[in-house]
Structure 1
Amino acid sequence: MSSNRSALKEHFLKRLKYDPKKDRQEFFDPPLYGQGTFGVRVNKRSIAYILLYSFHGKPRRLTLGSYPTMSLADARARSRHAAQLVEQGIDPGQKKTLELFEYRTSPSVADAVDTYLEWAMANKKSWKEDERMLKNDFVKSIGDMKLQDVKRKQVLALLDNKAKTAPVAANRLQAVVRKLFNFCVEREIIEATPLVQMKSIAKETPRERALNQHELVWFLKRLANPSITVATRFALLLSLMLAQRSGTIAAMRWVDLDLEKGIWDRSGRFEKNNNPVAIPLSTPIIKILQHLKHLQAVKLEKSGDTGKPSPWVLPGRGTTSHQTQPSLNRAMRRLYDTYVADAELVKSEGLLRVAEGYPRPTAHDLRRTATTHMSGRGLGKNVRSRILNHANLSVDAIYDRYAYFDEKAKALDDWHDHLLSLFKETFGHRNWLKDYGKEAPQAKKIEAKPAEVDSDAPRTFMIGGKEIPLSELRID
C-alpha cells in the first residue's frame, strides 16, 4: 500500500502501469475524517478507483469504477456519495450488492413483453395485434436488452426506421410500446418510461378512400379472380354488403346467425365498442351463408373427418381458426397490384382510379364504400350509425340491439339490390354464387353467362369450359 502526501492527480494516473514484479499496487489520497480513504488499485487486468471506509467499527472496501472509463472527478463524487451513505447508517458496499442483484434479476424487454401480453389477453380485444407488433418490431430488435436500460433514442431510432416504409404502422407501434412501458411503470417493474411526451413519429392523413360506381364494377369483376379462395372472396363481399368491420366479418360464427329469421346477433364482447348489435340478413346474404355452410359440409364429408364442423362461417386453414383482417388486406392488395400491372387494361376499362392521391383500396375501405353509397341513396344518419354500430352512450343504444332493425333491413335490402344490378350488368345474370362460389385455379377468363334463375346452392359449376358436378368439386 502506498500513500501520497497530496491528492491523486490525473497526470499521475496516466503514468500508472502494472508492474509484474510488484504485482498489485494501491495508491491513496491522504485520509479525510468522515470521508474514508480514496485511492486507486493497479493490477494485471485494470486500474480501479477504491474507497476504504469503516462501518459499525468494521473495515470495508468498495470498488467505485475503473479508469479511464470513469473520470477522476466522477470517482471522487461517487466516493463522497458513499461517505454520505455511511453517515446515514447505510453500508454503500451492501447497497451496491443489492442494486447489482436487482439489475441481474430485472426483466429483459422480451420478458416484459410476455408479462404485458399476459395482461392484454385478459383485458384487450386487440391483444393479438399488440403481440404481432411487439414481437415482430420490438422484441426482434432489442429483446435481449434489460428493460430499464432502454433509452429514448433507441426507441426513436426503431420507430424512425419503421416510419420510412410504413408511417402509419410506426405510429401504431409507438402507441403499443408506450402502453407497454406505462404498464411496467404502474406495476413498478421500472421507475420511468422513456416515451414521456414523445410526439407521433409520422403525420397521418385521415383515410377517405371509397370506391365509386365504376370501381364497384371493378371490385365485383376482380372478386371472380381465381387467385383468392372462396372464403376470402365471400369475406370481402360480405364486408361490402353488410358495411361491417372486415375483422368482424372474418370472425363471423354460425352460433350468432339465425338464418330462418334473417338475423346476425352479436354480443358486445365481440364489438370494438362493447355495444351488442343485431344486423338484418337480406335474402342474398342468407343464400351466400347457406352456400358456405353447404360447401363446409361437402368438404367435411369428402375428407372423411368425423369431428365437429368449423364454428366459423369463413374458416382459415383447418377448422380451428378463421379468416383474419390482415389476410383480407393481402387479398385486396393482390387484386389491385395484379390489375394495375396491366396498364393497357387499366386504361381501356377506365374503372379504377390509380392516379396519385388515390391509394389502393383496403378491406376496411369496403365498409366506408358501403355507407357512402347508402348515404347517397337516402340513408339517414341515425340508421347509418346503427348499421355501423358506432359508439353511442344513450340508454337505447346500449340495451336495445334491435333498435332501428326494420330501417336497417330496408337500407341493406336496397343496397344489396343495387350491388346485384351492377353484378348483372357485369356478368349478365344475378346469381353471384355461380361465379364466386367455386375454386377455379385453372379458369383463365370469366365470361358472361345467360341470365339464370337464382338458386341457393348450384349443383354444377363451369370450370375451364367444363361442367363439373358439385360432388366432384375440390374445396381447399
Structure 2
Amino acid sequence: MTSDRGALKEHFLKRLKYDPAKGRQEFFDPPLYGQGTFGVRVNKKSIAYILCYSFHGKSRRLTLGSYPKMSLADARAKSRHAAQLVEQGVDPGKKKTLELFEYRTSPSVADAVDTYLQWAKTSKKSWKEDERMLKKDFVKSIGDMKLQDVKRRQILALLDDKAKTAPVAANRLQAVVRALFNFCVERDIIEATPLVKMKKIAKETPRERALNKHEIVWFLKRLASPTITVSTRFALLLSLMLAQRSGTIAAMRWVDLDFDQGIWDRSGSFEKNNNPIAIPLSAPVRKILEHLHLLQAVKHKKRGNIEEPSPWVLPGRDRTLHQTQPSLNRAMRRFYDTYVANSELVKSEGLLRIAEGYPRPTAHDLRRTATTHMSGRGLGKDVRGRILNHANLSVDAIYDRYAYFDEKATALNDWHAYLLDLFKEAFGHKNWIKVYGQEAPQVNKSKAKPAEIEPNAPRTIMVGGREVVLSEPKIS
C-alpha cells in the first residue's frame, strides 16, 4: 500500500509495529519517476527498507537493510544508488547477489595465512617463525573472520594486548601481520591493508645484557640441569663457545664440518646477512661434535637403520628437524626461573645479577657475552667482526670467507681455554662430555653382530665427506 502521508518520516517508523490481524504490511513513499518506489516492509520478525523498481520491463524488489540498524537517511541513499545502477543498465538485485556470493567465498584470516605461508616456505628463511606467530597470536584470535572485514582497530587491540607482556614480540608480530596484508594486496586478495602508516606498537631499546665471569659460572652449572636435553645443552654451550647466532648454531649440519682442517664452513644461503664464513673448530669443540656424532650413530644402529641418519648436529625431538632458537630461549627461561625461585640459593651463591637493569639472559646474550669477554682479553675489532660475521660489503668480505682465519682460531682457542678454567671452577676436574653429555650405550659383546661397533674399538664417522677416527665416548 502507498502512504497518503507523503514521504516516510522517522517518527512514523518508530511507531510501526507488527499487527497479527493485518499480517505483513508495506508503506511507501510517493513514487519518483526513474527512481522506483522506496518503502518499508513490516513483518513478524523485522522492519525492512525495500525498493520496488522495473528492470527490462519486469518488476523487481530489493531489500536494502533493516530498521533501526540502518537509518532512514542511509536507506534512502542506498535506494538512490540502486536507481542509478538501473539507469546504467545494471540490475542492483543481481549485483547484490553477486557481491554476497563473492563475500561468502572470500578468504578468512586463516585461509589467507595458509596462502601466505605456502609462499613464505619457498621465499623466506624465517617462514617457520612467521608461521608460529601468525598461528599462535593472529589466527587464534580472529582466524574465522573474513580478511576483508578485519579493521585497523582490531589489529591494534590485538597488538596492544600482546605488548602488555611482550613489547618486542608485539613489534615482531606487527611486522609479520603487515607482511601478510601486503602480500594479500599484491595478490589482489584484498584491495587495501589496514596497517597503512601504523607505527611500532612498542618502543624498543637495544639489549646490553652480557654475562660477567660469575654469571658464566652460573650458566655452566645450570646447563647440567636434568630438565633440558643433551642436544639443547650443547647447542647453548656452543653458542657461548663460538660466538655465533644461536639460531645458526641450532641449524648446524654435518655436511658443513671439515674435521681434517678444523673448519665449520657455511655458505651464504645459511647466513642472516648472506655473508659466507668459515669458523675455526678448536680441539674442545671438535671433541664435543665427535661425541654428538657418536651418540647419533649408536642410536641409529639401535633403530636397526630403519631411519635415515639425521643431517643435523643438534636434532630436535623429530630427528628430521633441527633445534630452533625459540626452543633454546625456552630452555634458558626455564632454568633461570627455576634458579631465581630458590632465593636462598641465589643469595648464598651470589653468581647471578638479579636487579633492575639486568633482564633474564637469553640465548642471543651468549653471543654478546663471548665477544665482550674476548674483547676484554685483547681481541681486536677486525677479528671480532670476522668472528661475528657482521655485514661487510667489501670485496674482501664477500669473496674471502677464510680472511683472518688464523687470528680467529687464536682468539677462539684462548676463549675456550678461559671457559674451561671456569668450567673446572664449577665442576672440579671433570670435562664437558661427562657433565653435559651421556655415555654411549655399551654394546653387548655376546650378542654383537660382526658389523657392530665394539665398545673399546676405534670408531670412524663420515663428516663433511671425510672419515674421522673417534676415541671412546669418555673424551677428556
Normalising by structure 2, we get a TM-score of 0.89
- How far apart, in 1, do the equivalents of 2:67 and 2:344 lie? 71
- How far apart, in 2, do the equivalents of 1:156 and 1:227 lie? 38
Residue identity over aligned pairs, in percent, reads: 84
Question: Helix, strand or coil: the match of 1:313?
Answer: coil
Report what 1:315 is aligned to: 315
Contact residue 26 and residue 40 of structure 1 kept, 8 A: yes
Question: Helix, strand or coil: the match of 1:2?
Answer: coil
Shift of 1:457: 5.2
Q: Which sits farther off after the overlay, 298-307 or 341-350?
A: 298-307
Report what 2:60 is aligned to: 60
- How far apart, in 2, do the equivalents of 1:56 and 1:368 lie? 76
Shift of 1:146: 0.5
The code of the aligned residue for 2:274 comes to N
Q: Which sits farther off after the overlay, 335-344 or 114-123?
A: 335-344
The code of the aligned residue for 2:323 comes to Q
Report what 1:407 is aligned to: 407
Report what 1:179 is aligned to: 179
Report what 1:13 is aligned to: 13
Shift of 1:430: 6.6
Instruction: State the number of aligned residues.
Output: 447
Contact residue 36 and residue 51 of structure 1 kept, 8 A: yes
- How far apart, in 2, do the equivalents of 1:271 and 1:203 lie? 27
Report what 2:204 is aligned to: 204
Q: Which sits farther off after the overlay, 420-429 or 243-252?
A: 420-429
Report what 1:213 is aligned to: 213
The code of the aligned residue for 1:381 comes to K
- How far apart, in 1, do the equivalents of 2:6 and 2:114 lie? 55
- How far apart, in 1, do the equivalents of 2:145 and 2:19 lie? 38
- How far apart, in 2, do the equivalents of 1:72 and 1:90 lie? 24
- How far apart, in 2, do the equivalents of 1:50 and 1:65 lie? 8
Alignment RMSD (CA, Å) = 2.1
- How far apart, in 2, do the equivalents of 1:90 and 1:73 lie? 23
Shift of 1:143: 0.6
Report what 1:148 is aligned to: 148
- How far apart, in 1, do the equivalents of 2:182 and 2:98 lie? 25
Report what 2:445 is aligned to: none
Equivalent residues in 2 for 1:46-445 (5 A)? Answer: 46-429=46-429, 431-438=431-438
Shift of 1:382: 2.2
Normalising by structure 1, we get a TM-score of 0.89
- Assess, with a 3 A threshold, how the Cα gap between structure 1 residues 439 and 354 changes in structure 2: closer, same or farther: farther
Contact residue 2 and residue 25 of structure 1 kept, 8 A: no
Question: Helix, strand or coil: the match of 2:265?
Answer: strand
Shift of 1:331: 1.5
| 5+ long unaligned stretches in structure 1 | 441-454, 462-476
- How far apart, in 1, do the equivalents of 2:474 and 2:279 lie? 31
The code of the aligned residue for 1:279 comes to I
Shift of 1:211: 0.5
Shift of 1:63: 1.3
Contact residue 232 and residue 323 of structure 1 kept, 8 A: yes
Shift of 1:431: 2.8
Report what 1:444 is aligned to: none
Shift of 1:348: 2.3
Report what 2:38 is aligned to: 38
The code of the aligned residue for 1:97 comes to T
Contact residue 339 and residue 346 of structure 2 kept, 8 A: yes
- Assess, with a 3 A threshold, how the Cα gap between structure 1 residues 16 and 237 changes in structure 2: closer, same or farther: same
Shift of 1:5: 4.9
